């Protein structure tokens, strides 16, 4: 650990080694959040047939020309066309078919008159709605009085007006959010080829750690890192598995990691990477895979998050990121290094968090160590209307054990290596955490 690496050098090293996962065919809902690797054409136009956009009556326009409430057009109702009806009546002169939203236009009809522009077949004034079929089984028969004319095509959604057969529904590289999943379903695709979500195994280490919910003994603390890292991995798009804290024992740790390799696209550990006598992660991972790669431990010009390990292990050369154990260090390290690695495995084009420039609000000037890039926790308010910059206020101090303040933060204030003092009102870069 003699050489010191910058944040960017460490990240570049990780991103150079992490390749997107091989694509697989996934059911639509399993593909949510994934990157599509195929161009998906539209097999059949949407809508697949001309259909009504209103509940009403399908008519021939000539029959309702000049119609008014005083002088309604009286048409013979020849039946109902409900959404899903396959059998369509032919609408002849002087006739109308009662039609529901989404139902196919019957042959002969050119437009739809909404039910509100008619007497609903009841012989009175305009109605608000149709009677339910159960209450009025004969509603689709008899006569209807139409109070207004309609031009051809009115209240009709033509076949292909949404998207035409042969067009590109979605192109390779698209991230499948809910609307894209909806479009795939609408064109009849049950599954698609995507890069899968990476499986991230999170493993915390430390003999002092006790799972939340259990009793603490003397010198013990609750294991929070494995929870924050597992949920952060899920938030980044991964399928994450939390492995309970492993004691500071080299053999146990080695066996646990070897067991976990089978289900991991990425392994994240926390703790045990510093210079203490019980820092077993470093001890085990530096030697786990002699010959076919191992984990390198380095010191970064960064605070928090100075000690970091990265390498590829096992037969599949699975990436391992060994994060420092201090809770804030572990989380900041996740945001800066693990999240981009997860996104790179997913094949996402942008792997980094967004940043913004913000005005610093602080009573006392902030100090930062020379030669270290510092990531302070901040509470950020986006720009108000008409303003170009938001405002950020530091929360908590720089101590990497300050878990409560971290929970109040929505940004990291990125203080460059050479900056040692920041006064109120200065412009800073913030990394947006949500």
Binding-site ranges for ligand MOO (CB under 6 A): 303-306, 324, 326, 329, 400
Q: Which of 95, 240, 256, 274 binds ligand LQZAQKY5 (CB under 6 A)?
A: 274
- Output DSSP code: residue 79: E
Using the minimum distance from each CB to ligand MOO, give the nearer residue, 95 or 329: 329
Q: Which of 89, 106, 196, 206 binds ligand LQZAQKY5 (CB under 6 A)?
A: 206
Of 276, 305, 279, 281, the closest CA to residue 294 belongs to 281
Which alpha helices (DSSP H) does 203-244 contain, by range?
225-236
Q: Out of ligand LQZAQKY5, ligand MOO, none, which partner does residue 224 contact, by CB within 5 to 8 A per kind? A: ligand LQZAQKY5
Interface region with ligand LQZAQKY5, contact rule CB under 6 A, candidates 78-86, 232-240, 257-265, 267-275: 267-275
Query: What dihedral angle (degrees, nearest 10) is formed by the CA atoms of 334, 340, 345, 350?
Result: 150
Conformational region of residue 176, where left means phi above 0, alpha means psi within -120 to 50, and beta covers everything else: beta
Using the minimum distance from each CB to ligand MOO, give the nearer residue, 118 or 374: 374
> Taking every pair of C-alpha atoms in the chain, what is the biggest distance, in angstroms?
97
- At 366, list the tokens: 């902030």
- At 383, list the tokens: 């720009």
Does residue 306 belong to the site contacting ligand LQZAQKY5 (CB under 6 A)?
A: yes
Q: Read out DSSP for 129-195?
A: SPPPTTT-TTTTSSEEEE-S---TTTTEE-TTSSB-TTSEEE-TT-B--HHHHHHHHHTT--EEEEE
Interface region with ligand LQZAQKY5, contact rule CB under 6 A, candidates 40-48, 274-282, 334-342, 389-397: 274-282
Using the minimum distance from each CB to ligand LQZAQKY5, give the nearer residue, 121 or 304: 304
349/40 Cα distance (integer angstroms): 19
Does residue 272 belong to the site contacting ligand LQZAQKY5 (CB under 6 A)?
A: yes
Rounded to a whole number of angstroms, the minimum distance from the CB of residue 5 to ligand MOO is 13
Q: Which residue is nearest to ligand MOO (CB)?
A: 329
Using the minimum distance from each CB to ligand LQZAQKY5, give the nearer residue, 115 or 332: 332
Rounded to a whole number of angstroms, the minimum distance from the CB of residue 354 to ligand MOO is 24
- Output DSSP code: residue 118: B
Spatial CB neighbours of 46, under 8 Å, sequence gap ≥ 6: 160, 162, 163, 186, 187
- At 276, list the tokens: 């203490």
Question: φ, ψ for residue 98 (rounded to 5)?
Answer: -70, 130
Rounded to a whole number of angstroms, the minimum distance from the CB of residue 49 to ligand LQZAQKY5 is 59
Rule CB under 6 A: which of 311-370 touch ligand LQZAQKY5?
324-327, 329
Using the minimum distance from each CB to ligand MOO, give the nearer residue, 305 or 319: 305
Other C-beta atoms within 10 Å of 374: how many?
24
Q: Which of 109, 273, 284, 360 binds ligand LQZAQKY5 (CB under 6 A)?
A: 273
Show the site string, 227-246: x = touches ligand LQZAQKY5 by CB under 6 A, - = not: ------------------x-
Q: Out of ligand MOO, ligand LQZAQKY5, none, which partner does residue 142 contact, by CB within 5 to 8 A per kind? A: none
- Kindly tell me the sign of the dihedral angle through the C-alpha atoms of 192, 172, 338, 381: negative
Does residue 405 belong to the site contacting ligand LQZAQKY5 (CB under 6 A)?
A: no
Spatial CB neighbours of 45, under 8 Å, sequence gap ≥ 6: 159, 160, 162, 163, 164, 165
Using the minimum distance from each CB to ligand MOO, give the nearer residue, 60 or 373: 373
Tokens 């290094």 correspond to 337
Q: Contact residues for ligand LQZAQKY5 (CB under 6 A)?
A: 204, 206, 208-209, 221, 223-226, 245, 270-276, 279, 304, 306-307, 324-327, 329, 400
């Amino acid at each position: 650990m003699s050489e010191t690496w910058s944040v960017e050098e460490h990240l570049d090293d990780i991103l150079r080694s992490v390749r997107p996962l091989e694509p697989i065919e996934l059911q639509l809902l399993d593909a949510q959040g994934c990157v599509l690797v195929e161009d998906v054409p539209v097999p059949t136009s949407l809508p697949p047939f001309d259909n009504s956009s209103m509940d009403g009556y399908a008519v021939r326009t000539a029959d309702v020309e000049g119609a008014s409430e005083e002088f309604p057009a009286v048409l013979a109702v020849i039946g109902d066309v409900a959404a899903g009806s396959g059998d369509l009546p032919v609408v002849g002169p002087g006739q109308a078919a009662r039609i529901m939203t989404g139902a196919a236009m019957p042959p002969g009809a050119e437009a739809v008159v909404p039910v509100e522009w008619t007497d609903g077949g009841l012989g009175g004034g305009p109605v608000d709605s149709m009677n339910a079929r159960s209450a009025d089984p004969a509603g689709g028969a008899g006569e209807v009085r139409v109070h207004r004319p309609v031009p051809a095509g009115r209240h009709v959604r033509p076949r292909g007006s949404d998207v035409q057969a042969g067009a590109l529904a979605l192109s390779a590289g698209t991230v499948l959010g809910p609307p894209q999943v909806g479009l795939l379903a609408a064109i009849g695709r049950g599954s698609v080829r995507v890069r899968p979500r990476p499986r991230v195994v999170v493993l915390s280490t430390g003999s002092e750690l006790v799972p939340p919910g259990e009793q603490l003994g003397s010198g013990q603390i609750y294991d929070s890192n494995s929870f924050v890292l597992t949920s952060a991995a899920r938030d980044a798009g991964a399928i994450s598995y939390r492995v309970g804290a492993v004691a500071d024992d080299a053999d146990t740790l080695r066996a646990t990691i070897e067991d976990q390799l089978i289900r991991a696209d990425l392994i994240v550990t926390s703790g045990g990477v510093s210079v203490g006598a019980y820092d077993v992660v470093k001890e085990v991972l530096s030697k786990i895979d002699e010959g076919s790669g191992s984990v390198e431990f380095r010191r970064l010009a960064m605070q928090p998050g100075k000690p970091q390990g990265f390498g590829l292990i096992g037969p599949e050369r699975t990436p391992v990121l060994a994060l420092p154990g201090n809770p804030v260090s572990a989380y900041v390290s996740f945001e800066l290094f693990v999240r981009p690695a997860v996104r790179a495995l997913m094949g996402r084009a942008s792997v980094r968090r967004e940043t913004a420039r913000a005005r610093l609000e602080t009573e006392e000037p902030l100090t930062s160590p020379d030669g270290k890039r510092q990531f302070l926790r901040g509470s950020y308010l986006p720009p108000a209307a008409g303003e170009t910059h938001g405002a950020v206020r530091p929360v908590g101090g720089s101590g990497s054990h300050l878990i409560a303040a971290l929970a109040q933060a929505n940004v990291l204030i990125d203080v460059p290596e050479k900056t040692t003092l920041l006064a109120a009102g200065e412009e800073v870069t913030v990394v947006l955490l949500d």
